[in-house]
Amino acid sequence: MNQKDQSKVPEAAIEEASTALNLIRRECAAHAAPSWHNEVANRRMENPAPIPDDREVMRRFCVAIAYSQGARSAQIGALIQTPIFEEVFAGFDSHALARRQPKRLVASYWGQLGHLRFRGKISRIIKCAKVLNAIIREHGSFAGYLKRFEIPRRICSTVELDAFWRRFDELQGDFRRRKMPFFRSTTSLLQLLLDLDFDSVKPDLIVMRLARRIGIVVRETGDSTFRRCVRLLQAYSIRESCRASEIDIALLAFGGQTGASRLLTQRFCPPSDPCHHRTCPLGTNGLCMAHNFVRGKA
């Protein structure tokens, strides 16, 4: 069975997950801080935003890699707003950045970039700049390159959902051929598409942990597991006439991601099992495996 077949999700699984997902969305709305409404409104835009220019694409590459590998989102959020972040990465000019030496950047700036956690991120960013430059030479721009794959940016039907994954595989295959760092992985490429206003979800640690707890998946890792989880969430969004990016932020906020949880006035999911939050509606309604474990031991 190929990857595409493995990612297919039965209607019964979508039906089963919908109770917990509906409850998560309701709880987020009930405990929303003012900033929650702005975030959700941005994610509900009917018309896709234009694919940004190449400098902005390079900036988003830098930001995505900065947030990766367990870096604390609040600290990275502050770092990327500083002048030093732009200075280190050549104002996000991919041609200038590609000429920089990773070891020199680490030697000169690591004291100010320590929140990245891993020095290797610098070399990966520079390699991304080199691959981006090759794409620009061949296709005129990253936007022109991406458009040739015809990935649906809004998914309103199962036909479009099938097309998303078929063309996603083509894009991922081309990134792998080009040896694009970071973004050739399923999780990071889904994140990139989400960031570029496609109907995507990033299956990161927080999303996958919550997905396991509510029974969408049985484990939190593995490419086929990531694909199954995201496809189910996309199928749910079709069913509920909402956008997948709305589900993404709800799971992040409810699941306790550092930045997103600040959009709510109440905390819900703990970082590890078991859950001691006795008033959590998922637990009290028997929808969370972690909470049920505690109740069973009580």
If pLDDT is split at 50, 70 and 90, which confidence band does 294 have?
Answer: very low
Tokens 């894009």, located at residue? 171
Residue ranges in the chain assigned as alpha helix (H):
3-6, 11-30, 34-43, 54-67, 73-79, 83-88, 94-98, 102-113, 120-139, 142-147, 158-178, 186-195, 205-213, 223-240, 244-255, 281-284, 289-297
Please state the separation of Cα 246 from the chain's center in Å: 12
Give yes or no for a contact between 253 and 36, defined as CB atoms under 8 angstroms apart.
yes
Contacts of 153 (CB under 8 A, 6+ apart): 48, 197, 198, 199
| Boundaries of every domain in the chain | 1-50+199-298, 54-140
Question: How sure is the predictor about 291, in pLDDT bands with cuts at 50, 70 and 90?
Answer: confident
- CA 291 from centroid of its chain's CA atoms: 26
Q: Exposed e or buried b for every residue in 209-222, given b needs 16+ CB within 10 A?
A: bbbbbbebbeebee
Question: Average pLDDT for residues 65-88, to the nearest whole number?
Answer: 92
Question: What integer pLDDT is reported at residue 7 of this predicted model?
Answer: 55
The label of the residue with tokens 């998560």 reads 24
User: Mean per-residue pLDDT for 105-120?
Assistant: 96
Higher-confidence position of 214 and 291: 214
Backbone angles phi, psi at 43, to 5 degrees: -85, -5
CA 38, CA 266: separation in Å to the nearest integer? 18
203-214: pLDDT as tens digits: 999 999 999 999
What does the block give as tokens for 200? 């995507």
Nearest to 255 by CA among 197, 189, 195, 205: 205
Q: What is the pLDDT of residues 159-194, one digit of tens each?
A: 999 999 999 999 999 999 999 999 999 999 999 999
- With contact defined as beta carbons under 8 Å apart, do 253 and 237 qualify? no
Residue 292: the pLDDT is: 58
* Token output for 130: 């080199």
- Amino acid in position 19: T
Residue reference for tokens 């595989």? 169
| Mean per-residue pLDDT, 216-243 | 96
Give alpha helix (H) positions in 140-221.
142-147, 158-178, 186-195, 205-213
Rounded CA separation 77/259 (Å): 8
